[in-house]
Protein backbone atom coordinates (compact mmCIF):
# COMPACT_ATOMS: atom_id res chain seq x y z
CA UNK A 1 0.00 0.00 0.00
CA UNK A 2 1.17 3.48 -0.69
CA UNK A 3 1.23 6.34 1.80
CA UNK A 4 -2.02 7.91 0.52
CA UNK A 5 -3.96 4.68 0.90
CA UNK A 6 -2.69 4.13 4.44
CA UNK A 7 -3.50 7.72 5.39
CA UNK A 8 -7.00 7.43 3.97
CA UNK A 9 -7.60 4.21 5.89
CA UNK A 10 -6.45 5.78 9.16
CA UNK A 11 -8.66 8.84 8.64
CA UNK A 12 -11.65 6.67 7.77
CA UNK A 13 -11.10 4.55 10.88
CA UNK A 14 -10.93 7.63 13.10
CA UNK A 15 -14.11 9.04 11.53
CA UNK A 16 -15.95 5.78 12.14
CA UNK A 17 -14.80 5.59 15.75
CA UNK A 18 -15.68 9.24 16.30
CA UNK A 19 -19.18 8.58 15.04
CA UNK A 20 -19.73 6.09 17.86
CA UNK A 21 -19.01 8.65 20.58
CA UNK A 22 -22.60 9.84 20.97
CA UNK A 23 -24.25 6.41 20.88
CA UNK A 24 -26.21 4.97 23.74
CA UNK A 25 -25.16 1.61 25.15
CA UNK A 26 -27.99 -0.13 23.30
CA UNK A 27 -27.04 1.49 19.96
CA UNK A 28 -23.37 0.61 20.45
CA UNK A 29 -24.23 -3.01 21.32
CA UNK A 30 -26.47 -3.23 18.24
CA UNK A 31 -23.67 -1.94 16.00
CA UNK A 32 -21.15 -4.36 17.48
CA UNK A 33 -23.63 -7.23 17.15
CA UNK A 34 -24.36 -6.32 13.53
CA UNK A 35 -20.67 -6.25 12.68
CA UNK A 36 -19.95 -9.54 14.40
CA UNK A 37 -23.06 -11.12 12.89
CA UNK A 38 -22.08 -9.98 9.40
CA UNK A 39 -18.65 -11.55 9.75
CA UNK A 40 -20.09 -14.78 11.17
CA UNK A 41 -22.80 -14.93 8.49
CA UNK A 42 -20.26 -14.41 5.74
CA UNK A 43 -17.98 -17.12 7.08
CA UNK A 44 -20.76 -19.63 7.65
CA UNK A 45 -22.39 -19.04 4.26
CA UNK A 46 -19.19 -19.06 2.24
CA UNK A 47 -19.35 -15.33 1.53
CA UNK A 48 -22.88 -15.11 0.17
CA UNK A 49 -24.62 -11.76 0.35
CA UNK A 50 -27.73 -13.23 1.93
CA UNK A 51 -25.73 -14.91 4.67
CA UNK A 52 -23.83 -11.72 5.43
CA UNK A 53 -26.94 -9.55 5.57
CA UNK A 54 -28.85 -12.16 7.57
CA UNK A 55 -26.02 -12.43 10.06
CA UNK A 56 -25.89 -8.66 10.41
CA UNK A 57 -29.63 -8.45 11.07
CA UNK A 58 -29.64 -11.24 13.63
CA UNK A 59 -26.48 -9.92 15.31
CA UNK A 60 -27.89 -6.40 15.48
CA UNK A 61 -31.12 -7.58 17.08
CA UNK A 62 -29.29 -9.72 19.62
CA UNK A 63 -26.78 -6.96 20.32
CA UNK A 64 -29.52 -4.40 20.94
CA UNK A 65 -31.08 -6.65 23.57
CA UNK A 66 -27.85 -7.21 25.56
CA UNK A 67 -27.77 -5.27 28.83
CA UNK A 68 -24.57 -4.31 30.60
CA–CA separation, 44 and 67 (whole Å):
27
- As a whole-number percent, the residues of the chain with pLDDT over 70 amount to 97
DSSP labels, 1-68: --HHHHHHHHHHHHHHHHHTTT--HHHHHHHHHHHHHHHHHHHHTTS-HHHHHHHHHHHHHHHHH---
According to the model, what pLDDT value does residue 68 have? 64
Query: Residues 39-54: what's their mean pLDDT?
Result: 90
According to the model, what pLDDT value does residue 58 have? 94
Cβ 59 vs Cβ 36: under 8 Å: yes
pLDDT at residue 59 is higher than 90: yes
Amino acid sequence: MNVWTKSAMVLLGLAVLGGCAGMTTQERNAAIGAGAGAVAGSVLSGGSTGGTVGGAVVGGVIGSQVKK
